Structure formats: C-alpha cells, structure tokens
Amino acid sequence: MTDYYRGSGDADSTQQHPTQGFQGQGFQGSAYPPPPAYGPTLPVGGSATATAHRRAKRPVALLAAVAIAAAVIGGGTAALVGNYTGGGTDSTGTTVSGTTVSQSSAGTVAGVAQAVSPAIVEINATSTSGEATGSGVIITSDGEIITNNHVIAGASSIKVRLSTGKSYTAQVVGTDANKDLALIKLEGASGLKTAALGNSDQVKVGDQVVAIGSPEGLTGTVTSGIISALNRDVTVAKEQDQGQGQGQQQQPQRGGGNWPFEFGGQQFNGDTGSSKTTYKALQTDASLNPGNSGGALINMNGEIIGINSAMYAPSSSSASGSSGAGSVGLGFAIPVNTVKSDLSALRSGGTG
C-alpha cells in the first residue's frame, strides 16, 4: 500500500496512515473518510519514535523513584521477613552467649535475671575450719570463674554447682588477697554460658542494679536495688581464718555476710584481725546475705559491674539458728574494672 505522508521532523522517518492496519478486514480500497492531505506535525529535531521514548521515560522514572522509596521504608520489614523465611543473614556468630538481654526485656529485672543467671554459680569450699558457701561468675566457656578470695582461701576441695544443677570439681588458678579476688577453673567443663564484663567507671549513684548469688545456699537468688555510693573504702581480713568462728557453731560461712569487714572506722560481722587489706568498693542497697559473696552485681544491660564482697548482717537474738538478721541495705562490691585489671595476674597464679 502506498504511503500517504512522511514526517516533517525526520527525513528518514516514514509514517503510515493508521488505516493500513485494517487491510484484509473489510476496509480494502480507499479509506473512508478520506485521509488528510498532510500528516501530524512532529516536534522539531525529533521523530515519532524518539517522542514515544521520551514519553515512556516519565512513568518509568516515576516507578523507579517509588521503588527506591519503598525499599528505604520497607528495608527493615524485608530483613525481618528474610530472617523468618531463611533468606536473612545468619547472626549466630555475633550473639553473646548467656548475657544477651532481649529487646523487649531490656531494662527489666526479669530480663537481666533470665540472661545472666546461667553464668552465676554456687561455690562450696571445704577446709579445716568448716565449709564455706559463696558464689561465682563464669567468664569463659571452659569454666574460668571469678569469686572472692575469702570464699575459697585455705580450701582443700571446691565444688561448684551451675544454675542447671550440674556440679563440677574446681581448682584454684590464682588468688589476690589484697583485692579479695580469686580465679578458679572447673574440671572438664565446656560450652558454658558466660557473663559479659561491663565498665564500672561508667556507674553512677542511683543506677539500678541486680544482684544474683546463693544466699544461705539458695542458688540463683535474684535481688535488686540501686548504687548507693561510689569509691567506699572497705577493709577486709586477708587470711582465711582471721575472725572466723566468732558467733558461729560448726560451719563458719566465710562466703557469706559473716565475713568481717571494716567501713567508716567501724567493724562489722566480727574482728578483721591484724592482717587486712583495703579496696575501693561500690555500695548498693540490693539485698545481700550470707552466700552472696563472689556473686554478681549487674547493670540493666546485663553486664557485670561488680563482684559482691561484703555485707552488713547484724546479729539478732530472735534469729535462732540463723547467721544474722538479714540484709539491711548495706552491701559492697568490688568494681569490675578492678577485676579486669587483675585478671592476667590471677591467670598467672595470682599475687598473694
């Protein structure tokens, strides 16, 4: 069929009249109404094909912009869906075992207790002066545990019970009587949940804290309170038998509140003796009782900020068979930064 016109904008661009498309469908011969004597005018410098491309770019560009915006807004949702469908990145390697506080439980005592309790143990040390019950904090998956020196000093055997109820025998790795710290190691342990050590220099008066330990042999007991003061000078006995047995019957609990200490020029829980040491401590009103020594003082992110070491347990005539009247909100903890600075020395056998 003969072309009716050529576009004026492009010498090589030939346009057929639309009626060509009806050939063979009852419109053979001349078209009705007759075609115009000239074709539609094209833009200067362009062809019909180029114009169509330009028009097409606008919706495509708009769709691309919408897609980018949707990707930005929906990125988090897409990642969440990917994790549930198996298409997300595996984050197992970045999870902190045993101390991760879930987002929904962050800042709650329940969340901290659930996350950190598996890393807190009960320690039973036997010596010639009796049995001592204390607590400890697991810091490595193969069973390194930080506790107080007075919990295990002079012990002939050490038994450790995990929060799961499983028991291990432990050996002393190193001690530091000057800081009332000790490092023990479980025999044959592996894959244990560990505690995260925080930064005690960032602790402020009034910060909320959680204490976990084994007061009176009640494994995994959780209490809470606040930081009452910083940099308290606490003096404790250095030798395992100093001040022991005063007011005690058969089993002096060196790991508990009856371990004597001095604070503010006064003595508590007995005589500290002549061999003593003084360290800077965090003061807390979280309830601490006999057996909490060596346990954890924890911030609301689930990080260890102190090792509970001394607590005032006043005697009471009405507390028959008990080692004291219980916590009166006067407890002390060794700052965790002191522990971290002493750790290499403890692993090397300690400094005395």
Rounded-to-integer distance, Cα 54 and Cα 93, Å:
50
List b or e across 204-228, with b for residues whose CB sees 16 or more CB atoms inside 10 angstroms.
eeeebbbbbbbbbeebbbbbbbebb
Rounded-to-integer distance, Cα 122 and Cα 335, Å:
20
- Among 293, 309, 323, 327, the active-site one is 293
Which residues are within 8 A (CB) of 76 and not within 5 positions of it... i.e. 6 or more apart? none
53 is catalytic: no
- Among 127, 176, 180, 323, the active-site one is 180
Rounded-to-integer distance, Cα 271 and Cα 291, Å:
19
Q: Is 10 helix (H, G, I), strand (E, B) or coil?
A: coil
> What is the dihedral angle through the alpha carbons of 142, 148, 152, 154, rounded to the nearest 10 degrees?
130
In DSSP terms, which residues pair with 197 in a beta bridge?
Answer: 304
Q: Is 212 helix (H, G, I), strand (E, B) or coil?
A: strand
- Among 127, 135, 150, 163, the active-site one is 150
Which residues are within 8 A (CB) of 290 and not within 5 positions of it... i.e. 6 or more apart? 133, 215, 216, 253, 255, 256, 257, 258, 313, 323, 324
Query: Torsion-angle region of residue 301: left (phi > 0), alpha (psi -120 to 50) or beta?
Result: alpha
Find out whether 95 and 107 touch, Cβ atoms under 8 Å.
no
Rounded-to-integer distance, Cα 110 and Cα 140, Å:
24
Rounded-to-integer distance, Cα 146 and Cα 175, Å:
10
150 is catalytic: yes
Q: How far is CA 211 from the centre of its chain?
A: 16
293 is catalytic: yes
Residues tagged active-site: 150, 180, 293
